């Protein structure tokens, strides 16, 4: 097996986040799924955008956010995801390359229709308690075909990181299945983040099949996703059901910290203190970035978890899903 060129290669949604503060009444008036993520169509995205107050626009997408943190921590990364040939697509491509991440997936032509949609957007409403309510129009990203994959690129990454959100549309699901085959055929590890409970509700049989057949090496879930995956409300029981089936299971529990199990070795950490939670957007993405930055270097499980907790704490202290502070400096100070 050849030495990998990249530490982590990710496949995920290529979208631009539009973030605005709002009060609790707005969430109720718009009938939004408070604290969750809901898929919307183009008219729905336009309706919510019109209802927003002053907003901040930042490139996002779960896996892309994780790579942004990883790159800042010195990890060599590449991204596979699809944008349209429009203004938002160009913004996304610029931002991810400026973060030091290789990104060469061809842009998709667009005419704004369902057949050739624009670049995806995620409209995020943030309430005073820092909770984020996400409404995502996937746009061009949901049409990522297997033919757009650079298989030699996938084979050159030590870890293939897959975003659960992108499992929902049929075309990228096929592309991700092919990517798993390529990565495993090259002797690489496959990491998977469940992303959201609704994705598991729709595709739980797929995920359980991947787990049972040993196709996932590192699985990231949060507490509610684990319960949805296992059907077990008790966290410890659910964790014990999945841990023997994957080489590394990582479960985040918000203020209760995080737990991981790798080959029967278990570690846990408390949540990193935060003076004030501003916006929880990207908390799970940056936790995965911190964890994988240590995992890729072969660091002990507890230290990987600590890295994840530090990165997550940084991102929830400000608006937006990507780090603003120097993560390397934070790690050096806190570890």
pLDDT tens digits for the chain (335 residues)?
Answer: 689 999 999 999 999 989 899 999 999 999 999 988 898 988 899 899 999 999 988 888 999 999 999 999 999 999 999 999 998 899 999 999 999 999 999 999 988 666 788 999 999 999 998 888 989 898 999 999 999 999 999 999 999 999 999 998 899 999 999 999 999 999 999 999 999 899 999 999 999 999 999 999 999 999 999 999 999 999 999 999 999 999 999 999 999 999 999 999 999 999 999 999 988 888 999 999 999 999 999 999 999 999 999 999 999 998 888 999 999 999 999 99
Can you list the pairs that 184-189 forms with residues at least 24 positions away whose Cβ atoms lie under 8 Å? 184/215, 185/155, 186/1, 186/154, 186/155, 186/156, 187/1, 188/4, 188/154, 188/155, 188/157, 188/158, 188/159, 188/160, 189/158, 189/159, 189/160, 189/217, 189/218
Quick check: is 131 in a domain?
no
Quick check: is 199 in a domain?
yes
pLDDT at residue 112, as a whole number: 65
Q: Residue 149: how many CB atoms within 10 A of its CB? A: 18
Quick check: is 155 in a domain?
yes
132-139: strand order across its sheet = 37-39, 132-139, 119-126, 15-21, 56-60
pLDDT at residue 73, as a whole number: 97
CB environment 25-50: b (16+ within 10 A), e (fewer): ebbeeeebeeeebbbbeeeebeebee
Quick check: is 168 in a domain?
yes
CATH classification at residue 99:
3.40.1190.20
Range of the domain at 77: 6-14+61-116+141-334
Quick check: is 127 in a domain?
no
Quick check: is 260 in a domain?
yes
Element (H, E) at 8: strand 6-11
Quick check: is 53 in a domain?
no
Domains held by the chain: number: 1
**Structure tokens given for 16:** 């631009």
Quick check: is 44 in a domain?
no
């Amino acid at each position: 097996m050849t030495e990998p060129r990249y530490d982590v290669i990710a496949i995920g949604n290529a979208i631009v986040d539009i973030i605005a503060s709002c009060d609790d009444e707005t969430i109720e008036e718009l009938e939004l799924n408070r604290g969750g993520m809901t898929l919307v169509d183009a008219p729905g995205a336009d309706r919510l955008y019109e209802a927003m107050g002053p907003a901040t626009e930042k490139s996002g997408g779960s896996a892309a956010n994780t790579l942004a943190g990883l790159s800042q921590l010195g990890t060599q990364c590449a991204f596979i995801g699809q944008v349209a040939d429009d203004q938002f697509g160009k913004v996304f491509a610029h931002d991810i390359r400026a973060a030091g991440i290789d990104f060469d997936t061809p842009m998709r032509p667009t005419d704004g229709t369902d057949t050739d949609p624009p670049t995806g957007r995620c409209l995020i409403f943030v309430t005073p308690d820092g909770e984020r309510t996400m409404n995502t129009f996937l746009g061009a990203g949901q049409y990522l075909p297997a033919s757009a994959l650079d298989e030699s690129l996938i084979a050159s990454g030590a870890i293939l990181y897959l975003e659960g959100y992108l499992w929902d549309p049929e075309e990228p699901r096929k592309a991700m299945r092919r990517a798993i085959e390529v990565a495993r055929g090259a002797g690489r590890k496959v990491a998977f983040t469940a992303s959201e409970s609704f994705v598991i509700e729709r595709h739980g049989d797929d995920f359980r099949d991947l787990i049972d057949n040993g196709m996932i090496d590192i699985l990231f879930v949060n507490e509610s996703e684990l319960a949805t995956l296992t059907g077990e409300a008790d966290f410890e029981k659910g964790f014990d059901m999945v841990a023997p089936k994957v080489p590394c299971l990582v479960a985040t529990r918000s203020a209760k910290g995080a737990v991981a199990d790798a080959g029967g070795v278990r570690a846990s950490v408390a949540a990193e203190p935060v003076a004030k939670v501003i916006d929880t957007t990207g908390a799970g993405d940056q936790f995965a970035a911190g964890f994988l930055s240590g995992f890729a270097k072969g660091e002990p499980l507890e230290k990987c978890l600590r890295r994840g907790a530090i990165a997550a704490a940084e991102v929830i202290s400000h608006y937006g899903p990507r780090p603003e502070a120097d993560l390397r400096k934070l790690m050096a100070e806190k570890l």
